[in-house]
Structures are given as structure tokens and as C-alpha cells.
Amino acid sequence: MKKTIAASLILIISSLCLLPGCGKSSSGGSLTVFNYSEYLDPEMIAKFTKETGIEIKYEEATTPEEMYTKFTSGAIDYDLLCTSDYMIKRLIDEGQAESVDFSSFENYKNIDPKFAGYSKSYDPEGKYALPYFWGTVGILYNTKQVKAPVDSWDVLFDGSYSGQIIMQDSMRDSFMVALKYLGYSLNTKDENEIREAAELLKKQKSDVSSYLVDEARDEVVAENAVMAVVYSGEAYLGNEYNPDLEYVIPKEGSNLWIDSWIITKKCKNKEAAEKFLDFLCREDVAEANFEYIYYSTPNKAVVDSMDDEFKNNPAVVPTDESVGNCEIYEALDADTTALYNDLWKEIKSE
Amino acid sequence: MKRKRMQLLSIPYVFWIIGFTVIPLLFVFAKAATSPEGDATFGNLIAIFDPVHRKALFLSIELAFVSSLVCILISYPAALIIKSSKIRNKKTLQFIMILPMWMNFILRILAIQMLISKNGIINHFLTAAGIGRINIINTEFAIVLGMVYDYLPYMLLPVLNGVLAIPDDIIEASKDLGADRFTVLTKIMLPLSLSAIGSGITMVFVPSMTEFVIANILGGGKIQLLGNVIEQEFSVSMNWNLGSGLSVTLMVFVLLTTLIFGRGDSDKGRGFVI
């Protein structure tokens, strides 16, 4: 009996060693990378490891909030993290980001210089964040059912497509639509303006078919809904699946978003992390990632070599004028966030 | 000596329950009793009286109640039919009934979504037959449908076991003594299977009340159950304290349900195992 216990103990301990983390590999170190799901061509990870010998432990999440929660919980030490502008700002403000000298990168020149301007709101000196993908939020609509051309958020609020519209199941994005429609800044901290937007969203709820995130595009493709508020990247694929779909950035303006990489303060192998970021800027890698998800890329080299079909599609390459009224999200202060949370719950319980 | 060795066998379970139930629960209680700044407070527990939270709680209870009721109404007649059927191998019938559980429950919910969505399969057939359309997706009805579909086996199994365990002799005897079928059902069958129904209710009501995934998928994000509020507090608002406070309140309701309906079925030992 004792022998069996001893034997099973050995078995348990040895099997524990098979779990990741116990048997460290001896190659060029490893990096723990945290990214949105389906946001990077998995073959590029294999390629990076093959070229540099650096192992990549790849972790995924779906929302910036989820990332922040996982990152700050400290259960896993992430070396690199890709998330949205306002969350990048929050991480920089909290001192979680490591400064990087991007000019030392071999491939940084591929990044369109205009992003240095765009990113001012969250990374004023441009020393933390590397733009990865960007885009806008707009309306994806079915031209078969919507005869008049859509150019305003008005179409979501005037009740003409009651029961056939899909809003984003994301607090910030839904408020953004209402705020922009009312002519306010999407970063407003004015309580009255935010409450006015909430009232508008409450009134709109009976016209909304559903609040979705990832499925919004699919529902318009399947013609279960006539229009949906979506990210521009979704719009391109939606149009591929159903050619009747059209994407528009409403004239009142919208949200311009940039997802960027940062190296975290927890990173123990900065050299490897920089290598990884430099690798992502390389034209062939950026192109592979672009072709994996078809979001707009800040990589000028990739844009320049695109087919006209892509270049002339506002969902893939937004024009400077179409983003003229667009704003980048800024991190909201605690009070405004609390107000948003409460109002959003009220809207949802309406 | 032998008993000591047997006690050793409980070690994995003790570690499990400490690591994955006791310690996490302590964290939840600690969070629930403090404000985000770390001061002790009752605010997170009282927060359930906030109109928005209260509404979500009542809706959760209501939908869980309706789901449990529908599950009973489906399961009990089914159990009676199986008991009185001539089929010798009742295990096979039971097996067929729990077959849906072999598939992941989210997949089943997604399948329902496909079926009932606006241009879904059901509406496709209905329009082809010239009947028109049904619009049940993104309603409370759709959520109840999903809950019943997912949790029916949890009602069916105990109820079936309970009904099958009633000895035929008792039923024969009552009939001999002049009881009609209705009396047999209400005076003999139901009282003898009450504890089985009770454990069925616990197993349907509790997961239904804490549900948020089904509500999200079939409710289109328009219907907010308390589970959805808690999820929002943890994943979006990042107010873990409020989320924990609401979780504790929900736990109280879960405990109450278990106390009310789960009484007395453990000592009967009907041999019901999932």
C-alpha cells in the first residue's frame, strides 16, 4: 500500500512538471504576448520563433477591460500587450508601460508618420505605443432594404428602421453614437451631456433589435437586421460575405481608434520584446497580419502596395476627410466612468 | 488503521474544495464587505435595493421560476408515461432523454439562436408555408426557452427516478381500495415523488437564476438579469466590490431555494446520480 502511494505521488509530481512553466526551454528566451483574439496571424508567431529562437506564449482577450483586469491581477506577467488607445493611456498613466526608442527599429519607417499626430492624445511624446491596427466606427447597412443613402447617425434614432438595428453591446461605443449625434464630444465629462445621451439611448432601445459585439456583422450579413454599428474592420468582411452591404462613417463624426502595442514594466527581456515589435513592423509580416483580419493598417509600406480595390474602400483605408470629425477615445476619470456604468445599467434594464 | 487510509483518499477533494471553493469565497466576501478604496462598508450588500439591481433580481427570479415550472410540466407527465409504458428497458429511455447533455450547452443555445432568429430556420419554414413569422428572438420568452432546453435533463432525471421508485404494489393497493386515477396521482404518486421534484427544482432554479450567458445570446443584450449586472461589474465597470456584493446577495437567494426545495431528498437516497 505504501508503495502505491509513493508511486502515485511520483506520478503526480512528474505530471505537474509537464505543465507549462516547469521545464524552461533553453533557446533565446521567451515572451508572453497579450493580444485581442484573432488579431494576429498565428503563422507569424511561428515565423518569429523560427527566425529568432524566442518562444512566444500567446494569450488572448476580447475587450480592453478584460485585458486590463487580467493584466493588473498579476497572475501572468505579460511582456507585451496590444490594446486600445484609451486603455493604453490608462496603462501609461499608471506607469505600467516601458518607454521604447522606436527610431532604433529597423522597420519603424514603415509606419505612416501621421500616426504620431493621431496618438498624441494617449502617448504625447510617442515613446510608449506602437500603432498596430486602426479604424473607425460606423454604420454597416444593407442597400437592398435601405434605399436612401445613409450619411448620418439620425437613421438609428428616427425610428424608421424600428426593430431592425443593432447597437454595440459596449458602453463606450453606444454612448459615443448618441453623443456624436447630439453634437457633443465623445470624451465629454459634462454630466448633463452624458445624461442627455443616455436618455436618447433609452428612448432608442425599443427600436433596437439587439446589442451585440462580435455577432453584429454576422446578423447584418444574414439579413436578420438592416443595419448595425460596427468597427470598420468588420465592415470589409461583411461586404465580402454580402455584397449588398455598405459602410459609412456618419457626417457628425465618430470614433477613430488605434490599437497599439506597449512593452510592459514587467517585461524582463526588453531586447526580445523590441525585436518582436520591430518584426511586426516589417512589411511582409504586417501584410500577412492585414490579410488575416483586414483591419486598416498603419503600415504605409503595406498600404502603398495594396490593390486599388482595397485602397479605395473607406472601411479598409479611411480617407483623411472621412475621419475629419472623428475623435480618439480618452480615458474617462473615475466619476465619469461610474456615471457611464450606472446609466448603461439603466439603459439595459429599461 | 484501515479507516485512516480511507481518510487519505479524501485529501484531493479537501484540497480541491479549499482551493476552488473556500478561498475564492473568502475573497468574494472580503471584496463584498469593502469599498473600492478598501474601507469596510455595507454599501455593496445594500446595493441590491437599487431600483436597477432590484429589477434585475426580480426578473432573474421570475424567469428561473417560469423555467422550473415548465420543466416540471414537461418532466412529470413524461415520467408517468415512461413508468406505465410496456418498454422493459427503461434505462434506454432515460439514456435517450439525457442525450442532449452530451453536447456543449453554449452550442445548444447557439443552435436555438439559429432556429428562432428573424431569418432563422423556423421562420424560413413558416414563411414558406404561408403562415407568417414568429418574432421571439431577443425576448424573455426566448431566454426561458433556452433555459428549459438546457436544464430540462436536470429536472427529468430526478423526477424520473423518483416516479420509477414508487413501488407498483402501493399503486395497485390504492386502486384495490377504490382510488380512481386522479386520486392515485394526487394522493399517492405526487406526495411520494415530491422530494424528487424538489431536487429537480433546485437543479433547474439555481443555474437559471444565476444565468447570464443564455440571457446574452438569446436576449440580444436587451434583457438584463442579475447575472448580467454582476458580469458587467466584473468585466466592464471593474467594480469588483459591487460585483462581489451582488454575488453574495444572489448566493443568499440560491441558499434559500436550496433550503426550501432541497429538504429531505438526501436521506431518502433514491440513487440519483448525474
Q: What CATH number should be reported for the domain holding residue A93?
A: 3.40.190.10
My answer on whether A57 and A204 are in the same domain is no
- B118 touching A (Cβ < 8 Å): yes
Q: Tell me the domain boundaries of chain B.
A: 47-268
Residues A283, A217 share a domain? no
pLDDT of the residue at A4: 52
Residue in B with minimal Cα distance to A343: B52
> How many domains does chain A contain in total?
2
d(CA B271, CA B211): 28
Looking at the complex, does the CB of residue B43 fall below 8 Å from at least one CB of chain A? no
Q: Is B2 on the interface with A (CB under 8 A)?
A: no
Same domain, A239 and A204: yes
Tell me if A320 is assigned to some domain.
no
Do residues A278 and A173 both lie within one domain?
no
ipTM: 0.84
Question: 3-class SS at A138?
Answer: strand
Tell me which H or E stretch contains A314. none
The answer to whether B229 faces chain A, any CB pair under 8 Å, is: yes
The predicted structure's pLDDT at residue B4: 80
Place A22 in a pLDDT band, splitting at 50, 70 and 90.
Answer: very low
Confidence at residue B235, expressed as pLDDT on a 0 to 100 scale: 83
Phi first, then psi: give them for residue A209, nearest 5 degrees: -75, -45
Q: Which residues contact B71 (CB under 8 A, 6 or more apart)?
A: B148, B151, B152, B154, B155, B156, B200, B204
Look at residue A17 and tell me whether its pLDDT is greater than 70. no
8 Å CB contact of A224 and B118: yes
Interface test with A, best of B15, B118, B223 (most A CBs within 10 A): B118
- CA atoms of B196 and B208, how far apart (whole Å): 18
Q: Residue A315: its pLDDT value, please? A: 87
> CB distance B222–A342 less than 8 Å?
no
Range of the domain at A158: 135-255+325-349
- Do A189 and A338 belong to one domain? yes
Q: Is the pLDDT of residue A64 over 90?
A: no
Fold of B47-268: MetI-like fold (1.10.3720)
pLDDT surpassing 70 at residue B19: yes
B35 touches chain A (CB under 8 A): no
Question: Residues B201-240: pLDDT tens digits?
Answer: 999 999 999 999 999 999 999 999 999 999 999 888 889 9
A341 and A207 within one domain = yes
pLDDT for B264 beyond 60: no
The verdict on a CB contact (< 8 Å) between B232 and A65 is no
- The pLDDT confidence band at residue A6, using thresholds 50, 70 and 90, is low
CA distances from A180 to A186, A190, A230, B116 (A): 6, 14, 15, 34
Residue A11 within any structural domain of the chain: no
Q: Report if residue A223 sits inside a domain.
A: yes
pLDDT at position B132: 85
A281 part of a folded domain: yes
